[in-house]
Structure 1
Amino acid sequence: MKSIWTKTAALPAFSVLEGHQQADVAVIGGGLAGMLTAAALRREGAEVVVVEADRIGGGQTAGTTAKLTAQHGLKYHQLIQTLGAEAAGQYARANLAAVERLRQLVREWSIECDFQDCTSFLYAVGAPGPLEEEHDACLALGMDVFLTRDTELPFAAQALGLRNQACFHPLRLLAALAEGLTVYEHSRVLTVEEHALSTERGSVSAERIVFACHYPFINMPGYYFTRQHQERSYVLALKGTKNLQNYYLGIDGEGLSFRSWGDTLLLGGGGHRTGENREGGKYALLEQAARRYWPDCRVAARWSAQDCMPMDGVPYLGVFADSRPSWLVATGFQKWGMSSSVIAAELLRDLALGRTSPQDLSVFSPHRFHLSASAKQLAEDTLQAVRGLSRQLWKPGRIPLEELPYGHGGIVEIDGEKFGVYRDKSGEIHAVTARCPHLGCQLEWNPDTLSWECPCHGSRFDLDGRLLDGPAQEDL
């Protein structure tokens, strides 16, 4: 299921890493965060190598709706309540600056990526109280917000707007960033030492190593697998709808997302924790909503995306761990990777070059821990991991193999061993181990994406067991 971006961008191809390379900085991950970081370092004269497991932009960057905004849902009222006004102000200023920085970069480099200035909106079809609370919080932090009922939506709603935001084509931007960079594709990093990384066929030595691979695959130090979980969401690219000048995200009801790119409307929604979509139907629900508003529309593309959700709602950007001062990390972008990638690139550039991290970005420190903001999510994530492990250890298979219908997947038990089995529409059996190789949780079948997903930490595998998303680093 290719995204509309993958279908409409020509990305350069790079060779596999072979032999040994030396660099000042090695960046793991060729998505927007990694490529922005590499480009920023190269402009400062650093020797940089980017190592990508698949194709550049082939992960979460290909799945984004590419809304460049500091409006991240009902974020600021929550941050003020949990982290305080100072931290909320840091978060707001950094993201507002990120929008402007990327706007300047696109203009300075004359990048053709369909960059469009617009207003970002949150909308509610029910009680407007949460929007009003968010409006007051944003105003207190100096953000240019306003409440209105005048929207482009095909239904009545109250909306909270933030002016001077933007949207663009993420892979066309990525293609421009790649020019002049040393990049290796199809080169999954298998091990990382303090100043070196290794792939199946090569290695890189570097003074600094940047983990910009969406989810850190090194469990210790850092323990990022205990500090965030992953969620999936779904998108339809539609033709024959209304063209929107701005973009919208619902905070109640169906919580749909609307954003136009040319004559194509991107309709998003159906979010859930990774590994918790056993019934499926997410694309069907989006299509039903689309035809309710535009009966004659047609689907041009459909895809899903995955996001890391940190416990306190703020990305982890900075030094990986106290015991690894030469490692840097960017993770936990939630659903707002466009502005977060810009913040990460500038912060990690400065740290990699030995510059002092600005105090005004301390809200993003990976070394923080806010008990009041994190305790509830920590308890939920821990319980989820315990459930995943207990299912693998104690729960029997859910369905006998002979009863598995055509076109369905499920957990079956054969001779006391669990397997994830998908019977395709022709009747062929695709069987894999039901145990995630990351930390051993039981996988679950996602019928919308035809993939096996780990409900503990979000690793994903296709129906034949090939790795799609980490933190796992090997196939089933």
Structure 2
Amino acid sequence: MKSIWRENVLIPQREPLNGDVKTQVAVIGGGLAGILTAYFLQKRGKEVIVLEASSIGSGQTENTTAKITAQHNLIYHSLIQDFGLEKAKQYAEANKKAISEYKRIINEEQINCQFEERPAYLYSMEDTSQLEQEARAARQLGFDCLLTSETDLPFQVKSALKFNEQAQFHPLEFLKKISETLTIYEHTEAKEIEENCIITEKGKVTAEQIIITTHYPYINVPGYYFMRMHQERSYVIALKKAKEVNGMYLNIDQDGYSLRNSRDILLFGGGQHRTGENSSGGKYEKLRSAAKEFFPESIEIDHWSAQDCMTLDGVPYIGHFSSSTPNCYVATGFGKWGMTNSMVSAMIISDLIEGKENPYANVFSPQRFKFSASAKTLIEDGMQAVKGLVTEIFTLPEEEINQLPNGHGGIVEFEGHKVGVYKDEQGKAYIVSTRCTHLGCQLEWNPDELSWDCPCHGSRFDYKGNLINNPAMKDIKG
């Protein structure tokens, strides 16, 4: 399941790290946030190295719907209520600036990445009050927005809130261009950080400043980000021969849909749920059923899914990783708005490293939450719960395996132990532990993606037990 972005662009491969190196700045994570931050710092004369565990853009960046918008669902009324008007303005202005920075870079670098200025809509089929409330808040923060019932959608809406001066693009075409001159080591996974040293299996990187942009921080202490975020999944199908919608649309109702065009392809999304809570499956089928209703002539050409880190208050954590690590920085918790928040991260962190004051840094500061020392006990207890399980070799009697139909997965209990089993269409069984290697939570089967997902912190493993998503760092294979 590749996204349309990955299928029509080829980014040149980089070699893995080979031995120990030193640099001024090391960025861990080669997605859009990491590459943009490295790009900004190199433009400012810094020596920068990027470490990527797989290939650049291979994580959430290639699975985005690529909306460059400061309209982030129903957020601005809540921000004013929870943070106050000044910090809400910081958030709004940062994301407006992000849009203009994309436009500037694309023009300066002459990047052909399908950049288009389009309006962004929030719409509802049920209620107008939340949109009216959000409109008042957005106008208070200087947004050019209006309420309307007229849209290009193939169905009638009760109300829509239209934000003008937003944009969309092809994320990997953009990433390919801005990464051309960067020093990037692919297939080089950062295992640990010891003071100013990043340890990988390919060598050590010593850096004056370290930036962690790995979608979900894989380091538990300090920072305790696993206590401040959960992860959610959402699904997209790409359609040809579907009616064009002039803009980017997001339904605020429960189980609503997201829509936007990429040239002659319609991206039709929805089905969001907390990671680890999709045991019944059917997310893609629901989208396909709706597509047949709304776009009866359409043809599906691709489908894929994305995973997003959700913070406690809806605002990303961008800045110093913790108060005890002054030379370490983090960018995480982008929600479903990774394009603008990646740019915001690059702007803020590059300023912090240069010792410059950034006008937006305060609202995004990771230090806005503090945790007690008891958090360390929670981690130790969790690690003890999972200790030893990852190396256990599971064997099940044939009669237990035969109870599971071909092409299905699930948890099987035998002699007081729970194990995960998936049987392929040929009847071959794949048996794994159901304990997440991060902090020991029980994994749940995701039939839409044939994966074992953690409902606690969002780690994911394929049916063979191979790690797909952090914060876990080890497989669950027997």
User: Which of the five TM-score ranges fits, normalised by the shorter chain?
Assistant: over 0.9
Paired with 1:221 and 1:171, the residues of 2 have a C-alpha distance of: 33
Q: Unaligned regions of 5+ residues in structure 2, if any?
A: 372-377, 390-395
How far, CA to CA, are the matches of 2:20 and 2:94 in structure 1? 37
8 Å contact kept, 2:90–2:359 = no
Cα offset, 1:359, TM superposition: 4.5
Match of 1:344 in 2: 345
Runs of 4 or more off by more than 4 Å in structure 1?
A: none
Alpha-carbon shift at residue 301 of structure 1 (Å): 0.5
- 1:169 corresponding residue in structure 2: 170
Percent of aligned positions with the same letter in both sequences? 51
* Separation in structure 1 between the aligned mates of residue 360 and residue 295 of structure 2, nearest angstrom: 46
Matched, 1:263 2:267: no
**Residue type matched to 2:64 in 1?**
T
Contact 1:95–1:343 under 8 Å retained in 2? yes
1:63 is matched with which residue?
Answer: 63
Matching residue of 2:316: 315
**d(CA) in 2 for partners of 1:18, 1:408:** 42
Counterpart of 1:74? Answer: 74
Shift of 1:401: 3.3
The Cα shift of 1:240 comes to 1.0
Q: CA deviation at 1:132?
A: 0.5
Q: Deviations over 1:10-53 (max 9, x none)?
A: 11100111201111000000000000000001101111000001
Instruction: Determine the C-alpha separation between the residues in 2 that align with 1:168 and 1:307.
Output: 19
CA offsets, 1:106-155, max 9 Å, x none?
11110111100110110111111111000011011111111111111001
Q: Kindly tell me: are residues 239 and 359 of structure 1, through their superposed partners in 2, closer, same or farther at Cα, counting changes over 3 Å? A: closer
TM-fit CA distance, 1:400: 4.7
Q: Does structure 1 conserve the Cα–Cα contact (< 8 Å) formed by 2:319 and 2:361? A: no
**Matching of residues 292-371 of structure 1 within 5 Å:** 292-353=293-354, 355-369=355-369
| Structure-2-length-normalised TM-score | 0.92
Q: 1:84 is matched with which residue?
A: 84
Q: How many angstroms apart in 1 are the aligned matches of 2:458 and 2:434?
A: 14
Q: Measure the CA separation in 1 of the matches of 2:312 and 2:357.
A: 23
Q: 2:375 — aligned with what?
A: none
How far apart are the structure 2 equivalents of 1:328 and 1:343? 14
Indicate if the aligned counterparts of 2:431 and 2:464 stay in contact, CA closer than 8 A: yes
CA distance in 2, matches of 1:360, 1:243: 36
Q: Residue 195 of structure 2 corresponds to which residue in structure 1?
A: 194
Bigger Cα displacement from structure 2, 300-309 vs 409-418 = 409-418
Q: CA separation of 1:439/1:248 partners in 2, compared to 1, >3 Å: closer, same or farther? A: same
1:108 is paired with a residue whose SS is: helix
**Mapping 1:204-215, distance limit 5 Å:** 204-215=205-216
Q: How many residues align?
A: 455
Counterpart of 2:106 in structure 1 is 106
Give the equivalent residue in structure 1 for 2:127: 127
Amino acid at match of 2:193: V
Per the TM alignment, residue 86 of structure 1 is displaced from its structure 2 partner at its CA by 1.6
- The answer on 1:153 being equivalent to 2:158 is no
The letter for the 2-side match of 1:18 is: N
Q: 1:148–1:159: 8 Å Cα contact kept in structure 2? A: yes
Compute the displacement of 1:369 (Å): 2.9
- Write the distance in 1 (CA, Å) between the matches of 2:360 and 2:427: 58
Give how far 1:188 is off.
Answer: 1.0
Q: Distance in 1 between matches of 2:17 and 2:227?
A: 31
SS at match of 1:349: helix
TM-score in terms of structure 1 length: 0.93
Query: 156-165 vs 415-424, which deviates more?
Result: 415-424
Q: Which amino acid aligns with 1:152?
A: D
Rounded to whole Å, the distance in 2 between the matches of 1:253 and 1:441 is 27
Measured after TM superposition, the shift of residue 159 of structure 1 is 0.8
Kept in 2, the 8 Å contact 1:125–1:253? The answer is: no
2:450 alignment partner in structure 1: 450
| Counterpart residue type for residue 450 of structure 1 | L
Quick check: 1:18–1:203 contact (8 Å CA) kept in 2?
A: no
1:275 equivalent in alignment to 2:267: no
Q: Does 1:140 align with 2:159?
A: no
User: For residue 294 of structure 1, what is the amino acid of its counterpart?
Assistant: F
Compute the displacement of 1:254 (Å). 3.2
Other-structure match for 1:179: 180
SS of the aligned residue for 1:19 comes to coil
CA distance in 1 between counterparts of 2:166 and 2:327 reads: 34
The residue number in structure 2 matching 1:406 is 406
SS at match of 1:39: helix
- Give, in angstroms, the shift of residue 319 of structure 1: 0.3
* Aligned mates of 1:468, 1:122 — CA distance in 2: 32
Match runs of 1:365-384 below 5 Å:
365-369=365-369
User: What's the secondary structure of 2:110's corresponding residue?
Assistant: coil
CA distance in 2, matches of 1:226, 1:414: 32
Match of 1:2 in 2: 2
Work out whether residues 83 and 370 of structure 1, in 8 Å CA contact, stay in contact via their aligned partners in 2. no
Query: AA paired with 1:261?
Result: S
Q: CA deviation at 1:360?
A: 3.7
Distance 1:359 1:41 in 2: 18
Cα deviation for residue 418 of structure 1 reads 2.3
Question: CA RMSD for the aligned pairs?
Answer: 1.9
Q: What SS does structure 1 have at the residue aligned with 2:190?
A: coil
